[in-house]
Structure 1
Amino acid sequence: MNLLSQLSLSAKTHKDKPAFIFEGKETSYGELDVLISKFAAGLQKLGVKKGDHLALVLGNSPYFVISLYGAMRAGATVIPINPIYTPDEIGYILNNGDVKTIVTLDVLLPLFEKMNDVLPLAEHIISCETPPSDAGSGLDVSALSISTKLKSFTSLLATSVSEPEEVIQSEEDVAVILYTSGTTGKPKGAMLTHKNLYSNAKDVGSYLKMNDADKVVATLPMFHVFCLTVSLNAPLISGATLLIVPRFSSAEVFKLIKTYEATVFAGVPTMYNFLLQHEAGDANDLQSLRLCISGGASMPVALLKGFEQKFKVVISEGYGLSEASPVTCFNPLDRPRKAGSIGTNILNVENKVVNELGEEVPPGQVGELIVKGPNVMKGYYKMPEETTHTIRDGWLYTGDLATMDEEGYFTIVDRKKDMVLVGGYNVYPREVEEVLYNHPGVVEVAVVGVPDPNQGEAVKCFVVLKDQSLTEEGLKAYCREHLAKYKVPSSIEFLEELPKNTTGKILRRALKDQVLQK
């Protein structure tokens, strides 16, 4: 069994049920299955063979869903790419990933025109039409030098047979290559097999009790592994309905949840913060939700409690990473949720906390979180040394520092690489951030380590204020009340907003680079 066979089963069982709703239009499971097959057949007609690499440079839309499963049904390996990346960033992934076929929006064609001379492997560019209001129709395609490579998504479907040639695929074949965000050095391509993706989607769906009555808000970026498994794969193999949101907007999310009586919402902490700060939001807007899921970054406890108090829903926090397809831990639904914890092992996955020698440490002690299970990647694409360093004796070394309590609940302390060493003392940015998030005048905060001639490193804070009358010295005094002296920030800088990636995760690395470049 894999995602494709399970989706076909969903199509037979729920033929007339909506698989997804996008901008008010419903597409049934039966219709989706036909579209996937037609796209697969169209790719095969173009010469796409088993193992060929196909990139999706798309946002949240039916195009993404159909292309993802259609490409896999044709035997291709899919490489999702953030459509707002720069030409250099996209070009690196396309070349490093040996991409032969690209599926993208017509509004992005000028970007690929600029990159044409550095894309020798790209044989086909499949263009997805956008509405005229999105400026997709004003482009003279025939004038582009890439016009010989262009194919229309709509035409491809219209001229394809409904049944593609069957491709025999092993569970160990690579289904998707996900490029990590590359906070240090170039992005690495995590190779996820059919087994990796299916096992995690099945286990997450089972753990979260997803079923055909669920309506899941898909507002996380589909090219990101969090959405891919939790808001796309798991719901579809469970027979649920996706409510596809093109881009996150607090007003749109509130409206969608209320209109369709959504039951599951998954987001990153920043999304929850935006919803909490939204002036028009109230508890009635979210009363249909049975489950709120947070991941992608640690959620400040003050934010979690503030959101739950206002909207009368419980947020269950989990943990994952691209290399693990991604979910490894989740707060159980049948036992008390622990605020600040990422929960316990999900089905079929084992987590443990180890020291520098790889030895498990006692409960409560900080160490590196490592993971084992059927969800762990095959390795990094064309990077055998990195693979050997990251996967040892079957265990995936996450690079995250964590603790485990006596009941098996894990808590992320911080990224190993983000820890600040002040005069020989370890300072975990999250600990300082948690204190400042408790201040009523603070909206967002990020902490980084910066060079210091006396202490080696010093703690620097970047803060977005709700109360503009607050001063740097006032916040330092507040920190001194709650933190040991060496953990108190040496400087606090106020910003109008913090840099974030497309999932809403705050980019500490960008802030640190900004300091170092001054």
Structure 2
Amino acid sequence: MTTVTTTDSTRAATFPATVTRLAELYGDREAVVAPEGRVTFAELARRCDEIAGAFAAAGLRHGERVGILLPNGLRWLVAVLGAQRAGLVAVPINTWYRSSEMAHLIGTAELRMIVTDEHVFGKDILAELSAAGHGKIFDPGRSDDGYRGALFWPAAQPFPPTAVRGPVPAPNVVSAEDVAMILFTSGSTALPKPVPLEHGKLLRNGRAMGECMDLRPGDRLWLAMPLFFGYGACNAVPVALTHGVTLCLQEKVEGDAALEFIERERCTVFYGLATAVRALLAAPSFGRRDISSLRTGPVGFNAEDKRLAIDGLGISEACSAYGLTESYGFVTMTDAHDPLDIKLHTQGTVLPTQQIRIIDNTGVECPPDVTGEIEIRGCVIDGYLGSEEVNAGTHSEDGWFRTGDLGAIDTDGRLIFGGRWKEMLKIKGINVAPLEIEGIVSGHTDINQAYVIGLTTTEGDQEMACVVVPENGSVPDEDGFIQGLTEYIRGRAASYKVPARFVVMDSGSVPQTDTGKVSKLKLREMLEAAR
């Protein structure tokens, strides 16, 4: 694995200590480029101290929780790091949440305050909070041991207008074992689960991830995916801070705007999911913008998504990876300088901060190249925030976290990801992994995207359906196209792995989650409704 030149900042065990050390080492260097402006590392540290003093002046105490409901940007970053500087726990809030979802999060996390704006992406935040039963606005003149209310922070203001400036809390108010933030999982099949993440583990894993990507001070990391989810908050942010990297933030992924931004800022690190890659490649200005500065960054799960990022966007040192929010980011990664074939067809080797094993349905560890459930430990949560019921079945008897994902470890120690266990299909009594079929279909020269899902049948079995997006957006003869695709799959897989149904869609019609991932749940609902 590549060794990189690290700095003393990478040894800090907490976020406040890391920010302070970065200000000492690189005070005049640019730390953040965001919609609200640019700041150096020294200015970032000063602003974090300032908002930390305001939290303390508001009566918030060590370990209490502050919600952050803001778009990607400088305010989001300063609010999160400032809360941690004050010894508080930051709780990023999904900007797409409506009142019922906000009520669940506020109650579960027991928030004392929410830092937000009056309108976020056009949504009336006070109206949503009021409907959630938390419509109080922060009043510095009122003392309250409970919920202090919403602290509004307009984008044009460097400091929340109604906040009171106070003394900066003493340094070293937090330890590596303290919870730095609580992230809520996406909750596609159930209520979102709260994931408590510690300072030390976030930074240790962030350091390990950045070393695989061969990062160094002076790199510039582009991110337009939501900061409130794991890919941003417990992946990109700690990676950037442990390597002195400039965070170049946009509020959302918009192809032409992103290309112009990456070109102007000379971004070197690409943090975008497969949907972001496709958005850039499909943008009218692609090919006219110089994005040759892009060098590295994490890329998608399947070979086609990885190839699009590496070949399409020119990210030659991209890294394939596997991880989840509960594992503080990635568990396995390829190295930036690994051969292309390894990047395309594996998720790399386990990070030094993590452990991984593959278990069969009897609880026995699988030999190399045999698929089973992925279990992990190391920089991994001990449990979700909440009751025993929430944590039931999440850990093995000997303490390993059960991911619910399928995979195999090859003879070289590299992970081959096999998809989600709960997404496995039962076709004619045989288990079929959608990821395998998607990989085959995506290899067809006329296919841009492929998504395999299972539809229920009256016999209690499943019918395999495959949604495809043609390379050119449409096909003149859909029946002939599907027939040719069927024959293509038959030549590469057993007959029971051939989808019984194909649906041709254009890229814009494929539903997405709030994080920019394709929503198979919505796809299934669409196909079920159309039967």
3-state SS of 2:33 partner = strand
Identity percentage of aligned residues: 23
Comparing 216-225 with 204-213, greater Cα deviation is found at: 204-213
Residue 116 of structure 1 pairs with residue 119 of structure 2: no
3-state SS of 1:94 partner = helix
Match of 1:138 in 2: none
Residue 398 of structure 1 pairs with residue 398 of structure 2: no
One-letter amino acid of the structure 2 residue matched with residue 415 of structure 1: R
One-letter amino acid of the structure 1 residue matched with residue 330 of structure 2: V
Aligned equivalents of 1:114 and 1:309: distance in 2?
A: 43
Q: Quote the offset at 1:343 in angstroms.
A: 1.1
| Per-residue Cα deviation, 1:131-184 (whole angstroms, up to 9, x for no partner) | 69xxxxxxxxxxxxxxxxxxx953256x41462245632322222111111122
3-state SS of 2:417 partner = strand
Aligned equivalents of 1:19 and 1:218: distance in 2?
A: 14
| Per-residue Cα deviation, 1:25-46 (whole angstroms, up to 9, x for no partner) | 3201111101101101101111
3-state SS of 2:261 partner = helix
Contact 1:342 1:410 in 2 (8 A): yes
Match of 1:445 in 2: 450
1:479 to 472, 486, 498: 486
Comparing 395-404 with 171-180, greater Cα deviation is found at: 171-180
Match of 1:175 in 2: 180
Residue 155 of structure 1 pairs with residue 161 of structure 2: yes
One-letter amino acid of the structure 1 residue matched with residue 195 of structure 2: A
1:370 to 358, 366, 375: 375
Contact 2:219 2:267 in 1 (8 A): yes
Contact 1:207 1:347 in 2 (8 A): no
One-letter amino acid of the structure 1 residue matched with residue 82 of structure 2: G
One-letter amino acid of the structure 2 residue matched with residue 196 of structure 1: K
TM-score (norm 1): 0.89
2:476 to 441, 449, 469: 469
Residue 129 of structure 1 pairs with residue 154 of structure 2: yes
1:2 to 6, 11, 14: 14
Runs of 4+ off more than 6 Å? none
Q: Quote the offset at 1:451 in angstroms.
A: 1.3
1:316 to 302, 314, 319: 319
One-letter amino acid of the structure 2 residue matched with residue 305 of structure 1: R
| Per-residue Cα deviation, 1:300-358 (whole angstroms, up to 9, x for no partner) | x2343344334443332211111111211111224324113211111221112111233
Q: Quote the offset at 1:203 in angstroms.
A: 1.8
1:77 to 59, 74, 89: 89
Contact 1:436 1:479 in 2 (8 A): no
The unaligned stretches of length 5 or more in structure 2 are: 1-12, 135-145
Change (3 A) 1:41 1:421: same
Match of 1:28 in 2: 40
Aligned equivalents of 1:239 and 1:15: distance in 2?
A: 11
One-letter amino acid of the structure 2 residue matched with residue 123 of structure 1: R
Aligned equivalents of 1:205 and 1:430: distance in 2?
A: 27
Q: Quote the offset at 1:240 in angstroms.
A: 1.5
Match of 1:12 in 2: 24
2:218 to 207, 213, 225: 213
Change (3 A) 1:72 1:27: same
The unaligned stretches of length 5 or more in structure 1 are: 133-151
Q: Quote the offset at 1:406 in angstroms.
A: 0.9
Comparing 301-310 with 481-490, greater Cα deviation is found at: 301-310
| Per-residue Cα deviation, 1:401-451 (whole angstroms, up to 9, x for no partner) | 111111111121110000100111111111222233233443333211111
Comparing 310-319 with 78-87, greater Cα deviation is found at: 310-319
3-state SS of 1:332 partner = coil
Aligned equivalents of 2:214 and 2:71: distance in 1?
A: 27
3-state SS of 2:52 partner = helix
| Per-residue Cα deviation, 1:88-138 (whole angstroms, up to 9, x for no partner) | 222221122211211112214733334326435532211121469xxxxxx
Contact 2:441 2:450 in 1 (8 A): yes
Q: Quote the offset at 1:291 in angstroms.
A: 0.7
Q: Quote the offset at 1:255 in angstroms.
A: 1.6
Q: Quote the offset at 1:495 in angstroms.
A: 3.5
1:68 to 74, 80, 84: 80
1:254-333 mapped onto 2 (5 Å cutoff): 254-282=259-287, 285-295=290-300, 298-299=301-302, 301-314=303-316, 315-333=318-336
Aligned equivalents of 2:505 and 2:100: distance in 1?
A: 28
Change (3 A) 1:233 1:292: closer
Contact 1:451 1:458 in 2 (8 A): yes
Aligned equivalents of 1:280 and 1:18: distance in 2?
A: 27
Contact 1:325 1:376 in 2 (8 A): yes
TM-score (norm 2): 0.87
Comparing 28-37 with 492-501, greater Cα deviation is found at: 492-501
Comparing 58-67 with 346-355, greater Cα deviation is found at: 346-355
Change (3 A) 1:283 1:343: farther
Aligned equivalents of 1:165 and 1:306: distance in 2?
A: 48
One-letter amino acid of the structure 2 residue matched with residue 192 of structure 1: L
Change (3 A) 1:231 1:307: closer
Q: Quote the offset at 1:212 in angstroms.
A: 1.1
Contact 1:196 1:377 in 2 (8 A): no
Contact 2:226 2:515 in 1 (8 A): yes
Q: Quote the offset at 1:472 in angstroms.
A: 5.0
3-state SS of 2:160 partner = helix
Contact 1:284 1:311 in 2 (8 A): no
3-state SS of 1:399 partner = strand
Change (3 A) 1:156 1:328: farther
User: How many residue pairs align between the two structures?
Assistant: 494
Aligned equivalents of 2:230 and 2:450: distance in 1?
A: 25
Comparing 433-442 with 67-76, greater Cα deviation is found at: 433-442
Aligned equivalents of 1:243 and 1:45: distance in 2?
A: 31
